[in-house]
Amino acid sequence: MTAPMAAPGRPVVTGVRPQDVQECDPAADIAGRVDDQSVPARSAVDIAAIRPAVTLCYLPGRDLDQAELLELAASIAGQPDLLEPHVAFSDDKRHYVSLHRDTHVDVWLLCWTPSNDTGWHDHDISSGAVAVTRGTLTEHNLAIGTQSVRTDVPAGAAFSFGPDHIHRLTGRDPDSVSVHAYSPPLWRMGQYTLGPSGVLRRRSVSYADELRPLDDFA
């Protein structure tokens, strides 16, 4: 079977097959009809097309909205001299570096291998943006009664999301690199576990903790 292809800088959606949706119950059928609003990575934009008004040199001194976070992440993604000294990779522990933090926004550089996996999580009250500068990440979104939705986000693409967003990020390609911006700054995050009874639970963790899968559920 030929793998799905996309133009450079555009996401590739995998994990939802028509036959899966047809065989599911009504709730799963609804979950299978995924739109761009529920999966922000499907609306990823070309970083090169963004003309940022918000940069590290110009921050408005207040919390940023999703569009402004996208501009900030894209502007930093275009500064290799800032990023390259911090790039490193490890299969055992995902490498990440804080690039900026103030009372309204924080920015991180994350480095990925195919072994790196955040597990399912949210960002508490923070909105966020992700800009991929090298390789490809895969964003996973939970769907009820069917496979999770997987969207590949290649180098040169960026997307944003609100505080209601729950996802899981993995490194698809070796040596992938991404810039992440959050506002208000991350303080607490939620990690999700699936108990033996099938009940989904949320666990609050510090922003400084490395996110890892707590359960092996897709």
Lowest model confidence (mean pLDDT) among 5-9, 76-80, 105-109, 139-143 = 5-9
pLDDT tens digits for 29-87? Answer: 434 455 666 799 999 999 999 999 999 999 999 999 999 999 999 999 999 999 999 99
**Looking at the whole model, is its pTM more than 0.85?**
no
pLDDT at 24 over 50: no
Average pLDDT over residues 168-183: 97
Query: CA quadruple 11, 186, 78, 82: dihedral positive or negative?
Result: negative
**CA angle 206–121–183, rounded 5-degree value:** 65
**23: Cβ–Cβ under 8 A, 6 or more apart, which residues?**
none
Assigned token pair, 13: 């959606």
Closest CA to 129 of 169, 183, 77, 181: 181
Give the model's pLDDT for residue 132: 98
Closest CA to 218 of 109, 132, 129, 138: 138
Give the model's pLDDT for residue 109: 98
